[in-house]
Structure 1
Amino acid sequence: MMNSTHVTFFTLSAYFDTGRLKYVYFLVVMTLYSLIVCSNVLLIVVICVNRTLHEPMYLFLCSLFVNELYGSSSLFPLLLVHILSNSHTVSAPLCFLQIFCIHFYGSVEVFTLGAMSYDRYVAICLPLQYNMYMSLRNVWVMTASVWLYSVLATLAMLSLSAPLQLCGNIIHKVYCDNFSVVKLACYDTSVSNIYGLSYIFTVIVGLIAMILFSYMRILKVCLSGSRRTRQKALSTCIPHLSSIVNFSFGAFFEIVQGRFNMNGVPNMVRIFLSLYWLTCQPLFNPLLYGLNLTKIRIICKSLGTRR
């Protein structure tokens, strides 16, 4: 029997021998990571250097892009190493560092999307009070609170899982995940499970309820407003709604895969679903917002045609 003091490394068992195809997989993943880095860095720079974009919605977007750059970097470098490697082990400290980074990314992402929903609600439903509720000071306070709370919530989660006595060191994924480590515990993990479920059903469900409420009110205003009002609201809300649906889809399958037995699902499908929420948000959000938000599209176009 193992305990936590003897587990010095974890084995990521979801990798399988692909022969020479591993170089193809490496190039595909490397290309995806390069696209994520380039597109997110470009939009971060565009928002930071253009004063016309120093508005609440774009500052929240900047925070979102920074988080996606950070979240993808917690996954892809190690993933690329393991694709080419014949040994799919990771040291315990590095594993827990990856767990912290990935769960911190998820927390910041969902809270930032919630803050953006509130911003759109105030802008469309309470336009005369927008400058009061969404002053730059309030935006910075909200953004800082999102990042600080996410750090504390993730550290609290790790403080419950890291000391657990473990009876194994095999994680059935291509990266380290907190619940996968908790399932290796020798003894009762009810405290850790209660914390995880409480976080999901109070914070996450609460945020989803707030987002749904915001968009119900926005929809009501759009239906009762002029055609121009509807077009303006839709142009800013559709990218945000698409991002929320995309993230919720990925997070849902990640939670299901962690909590339920997925042995009947093909290995490649499980790998795809586990990577979806860490890959598609950073990849698609710059495209969604870059193409749909007029100010960003115009500035990016001017940068591309400038000599």
Structure 2
Amino acid sequence: MVEFSSNSTDILTLQGFDLPPQGVYAAFIFATLNYLVILFCNLFLMATIITNKSLHQPMYILLFNLPINDLIGSSALFLQLIKEILLDSRYIEASNCIAQAFFIHIYGVGSLLIISAMAYDRYIAICNPLKYSTIMTNSHIAKIIASVWLVALLLIGVLFFLLLRLPRCTSLISHTYCSNPSLLALVCADTTINNIYGLFITAGLQVFSVGLILYTYLQILLACFKSKRSDTKSKALQTCATHLTVFLILECLGFFTIISYRIKQLSPHSRRIIGASNMIFPPTLNPIIYGLRTKEIRQRINMAIRKTVNP
């Protein structure tokens, strides 16, 4: 690797995975294939929803935003990672680093808000089925989707406004990708406001999303147990199980990432891998989980495959 020194904080240095020379090609192939799988699965799920009118329902319109969000997060990570491996360079322009961090945080906030919106939709559908069509109108769905993205942009916009007002004194990012905490570590000024605001939106989003999902799903479970129709009960529980699986994967990975920074015995290499897993596993697994566990989507995918094999 070609090294150079620079006193300019316009060029930042990523910590990287410290790959041995013989592992570079394997890492490049793995990262590229992983990104291609994420692109294919999420774009295929989006295309399935777009091209099938039977899926133009509130549940699937909300679901459509999840692969969009997953593509934002995975692209922010993989495009820089693949470039880093291909060019054998850990250097990144500060503007590109800030852009990567911004989209990664949009992905994190968007994931929680979209899954929360989907839980609300299922709550209305199962607990108030007679009022569902009058509540979940096209205009109401549009307001929910607009609110999700506007809240994400507003929260993260303020976060990075607070960050960009501060001067940077060092240039080493102690991670494999850029994030608000890693950029904040480069600052040589008082970061109290940034830390308070960061904790506020993290705690606020967790309380909101976890609280909403716990409440709605408890109400759904009660409604299912009271229902005398076994087919309705089975379909409702299957749909909720799918949403909960996606939510738990996201929460568990976030929890492991936080814990990894508290375990001093854990190697920095393992800590970086755990941190990157947040942008690798959910975007890979989400479209597969929804494709396999959602009956309507599974049927449309099977029909598309049969038409391809037997035109």
Interval containing the TM-score (normalised by the shorter chain): over 0.9
Instruction: Tell me which residue corresponds to 2:272.
Output: 271
Q: Is the 8 A contact 2:74 2:283 kept in 1?
A: yes
Distance (whole Å) between structure 1 residues aligned to residue 23 and residue 189 of structure 2: 41
The answer to whether the aligner puts 1:297 opposite 2:298 as a matched pair is yes
Instruction: Tell me which residue corresponds to 1:253.
Output: 256
Distance (whole Å) between structure 1 residues aligned to residue 47 and residue 216 of structure 2: 30
Q: Is the 8 A contact 2:16 2:90 kept in 1?
A: no
Q: Is the 8 A contact 2:71 2:283 kept in 1?
A: yes
Aligned length: 301
Distance (whole Å) between structure 2 residues aligned to residue 82 and residue 15 of structure 1: 10
Q: Is the 8 A contact 1:14 1:267 kept in 2?
A: no
Per-residue CA shift, 1:73-101, capped at 9, x if unaligned? 11101101112333201110000000111
Query: What is the one-letter code of the residue matched to 2:220?
Result: I
Report 1:101-140 matches (<5 A): 101-140=103-142
Distance (whole Å) between structure 1 residues aligned to residue 218 and residue 38 of structure 2: 32
Indicate the SS of the match to 1:87.
Answer: coil
Query: What is the one-letter code of the residue matched to 1:265?
Result: L
What is the deviation of 1:122? 0.7
Q: Is the 8 A contact 1:125 1:218 kept in 2?
A: yes
Distance (whole Å) between structure 2 residues aligned to residue 9 and residue 256 of structure 1: 30
Could you tell which deviates more after superposition, 262-271 or 295-304?
262-271
What is the deviation of 1:268? 3.2
The answer to whether the aligner puts 1:29 opposite 2:27 as a matched pair is no
Instruction: Tell me which residue corresponds to 2:16.
Output: 14
The answer to whether the aligner puts 1:40 opposite 2:42 as a matched pair is yes
What is the deviation of 1:273? 1.1
What is the deviation of 1:288? 0.5
The answer to whether the aligner puts 1:171 opposite 2:176 as a matched pair is no
Indicate the SS of the match to 2:280.
Answer: helix
Report 1:1-307 matches (<5 A): 6-226=8-228, 227-256=230-259, 260=261, 263-306=264-307, 307=311
Distance (whole Å) between structure 1 residues aligned to residue 13 and residue 63 of structure 2: 36
Distance (whole Å) between structure 1 residues aligned to residue 116 and residue 259 of structure 2: 22
Q: Give TM-score scaled by structure 2 length.
A: 0.92
Indicate the SS of the match to 1:75.
Answer: helix
What is the deviation of 1:207? 1.8
Query: What is the one-letter code of the residue matched to 2:278?
Result: W
Q: Is the 8 A contact 2:167 2:187 kept in 1?
A: yes
Q: Is the 8 A contact 1:161 1:182 kept in 2?
A: yes
What is the deviation of 1:220? 1.2
Indicate the SS of the match to 1:191.
Answer: helix
Query: What is the one-letter code of the residue matched to 2:31?
Result: V
Q: Is the 8 A contact 2:10 2:94 kept in 1?
A: yes
Pair 1:165–1:253, CA change in 2 (3 A): farther
Per-residue CA shift, 1:51-79, capped at 9, x if unaligned? 11010110111111111112211110110
Pair 1:116–1:129, CA change in 2 (3 A): same
What is the deviation of 1:42? 0.7
Distance (whole Å) between structure 1 residues aligned to residue 262 and residue 115 of structure 2: 30
Distance (whole Å) between structure 2 residues aligned to residue 278 and residue 47 of structure 1: 23
Per-residue CA shift, 1:153-194, capped at 9, x if unaligned? 111100011221223111111100111111222121010011
Q: Is the 8 A contact 1:72 1:282 kept in 2?
A: yes
Query: What is the one-letter code of the residue matched to 2:236?
Result: A
Query: What is the one-letter code of the residue matched to 1:27?
Result: I
The CA RMSD measured in Å over matched residues stands at 1.6
Indicate the SS of the match to 2:12.
Answer: strand
Q: Give TM-score scaled by structure 1 length.
A: 0.94
Query: What is the one-letter code of the residue matched to 1:179?
Result: P
Query: Structure 1 stretches of 5 or more lacking a match?
Result: none
Could you tell which deviates more after superposition, 122-131 or 12-21?
12-21
Q: Is the 8 A contact 1:15 1:88 kept in 2?
A: no
Query: Structure 2 stretches of 5 or more lacking a match?
Result: 1-6
Q: Is the 8 A contact 2:292 2:298 kept in 1?
A: yes
